[in-house]
Amino acid sequence: MGLRTIYFITRNPHKVKEIRELAVDIGKGKGVSIQHLNYEYPELQLEEIEEVAIASANHIRRERGLEIKAPFFIEDSGLFIHALNGFPGPFSAFVFKKIGNEGILSLMAGKNGEERRAVFKTVIAFCQSASAEPRIFRGVVEGRIADSARGEGGFGFDPIFEYRGTTFAEMSTEEKNKISHRGRAFRELLNHLS
Ligand code: IMP
């Protein structure tokens, strides 16, 4: 039986790498082949990452619907830090660009133990076709903000996001995928597809 093609639309090569590995590890077994489309779309600044993901998918349906001949998905992720009331959350990309990991570590100065708890979330918005409303799949991972940046792998906040003593940047893509917000959201999508 041939594999069903699903498009992953993003301009972030790190996300492509992670999803590609997951697609090979578990997607094939479920009869799905993930192809990357490098389309740009505006990311609205909204209060919830669910709303951002839905707005992005709807934008693509409107602007690119005629070109995309297969189901597709986009994803939006955010880092939510408890001691900062969930900041930067939906503003993660902007905050990362402006102050980076060092900026987050400065905001966390003097915060200890439970105060350093943080959650990474991914929302996938999947459209069966350009005429179908997006469906949402979520993945969450609980961790903490490390005391200092560690590790060379990954991207974005990975060097300061610690899961059970290891930062995401200290993990291989395979290790990160097993427990990450993105890995979990993608598995939810695959379960729905099969
Ligand atoms: P977005 O999903 O591209 O909007 O990501 C928001 C921000 O979070 C960007 O600055 C990303 O670099 C960062 N980010 C998203 N996913 C991850 C991840 O898996 N690890 C570390 N940083 C991430």
Tell me the per-residue pLDDT of 81-107, one tens digit each, with 9 for 90 and over.
999 999 999 999 999 999 999 999 999
Ligand 1 centroid to Cα of residue 134, in Å, is 21
CB 93 near ligand 1, within 6 Å: yes
Instruction: Name every residue whose Cβ is closer than 8 Å to that of residue 92 and which is 6 or more positions away in sequence.
Output: 77, 78, 79, 156, 157
- CB distance 141 to 119 below 8 Å: yes
pLDDT at res. 1: 61
Cβ-based neighbour number of residue 37 at 10 Å? 16
The CA distances from residue 163 to 65, 143, 160, 178, in Å, are 39, 5, 10, 12
In this prediction, residues 99-126 reach a mean pLDDT of: 97
Angle, in degrees to the nearest 10, between helices 181-193 and 13-22: 50
Atom 9 of ligand 1, nearest CA residue: 93
Q: What is the mean pLDDT of the chain?
A: 95
Say what the pTM is: 0.95
Atom 23 of ligand 1, nearest CA residue: 156
* Residue in the block written with tokens 């192809």: 35
* Residue in the block written with tokens 């297969």: 70
**Residue 109 clears pLDDT 80, i.e. is over it:** yes
CB 155 near ligand 1, within 6 Å: yes
Which architecture characterizes domain 4-193 according to CATH?
A: Alpha-Beta Complex (3.90)
Q: Is the peptide bond before 88 cis (omega within 30 degrees of 0)?
A: yes
List 72's β-bridge partners, or say none.
7, 127
The CA distances from residue 101 to 32, 114, 159, 182, in Å, are 35, 19, 8, 20
pLDDT tens-digit series, residues 37-88: 999 998 888 889 999 999 999 999 999 988 888 999 999 999 999 999 999 9
Instruction: Name every residue whose Cβ is closer than 8 Å to that of residue 165 and which is 6 or more positions away in sequence.
Output: none
Q: Which residues are catalytic?
A: 76
- CB distance 53 to 136 below 8 Å: yes
Ligand 1 centroid to Cα of residue 2, in Å, is 33
CB 139 near ligand 1, within 6 Å: no
Lay out the sheet containing 32-37: strands in order across: 32-37, 4-9, 72-81, 117-127, 135-145, 161-163, 166-167
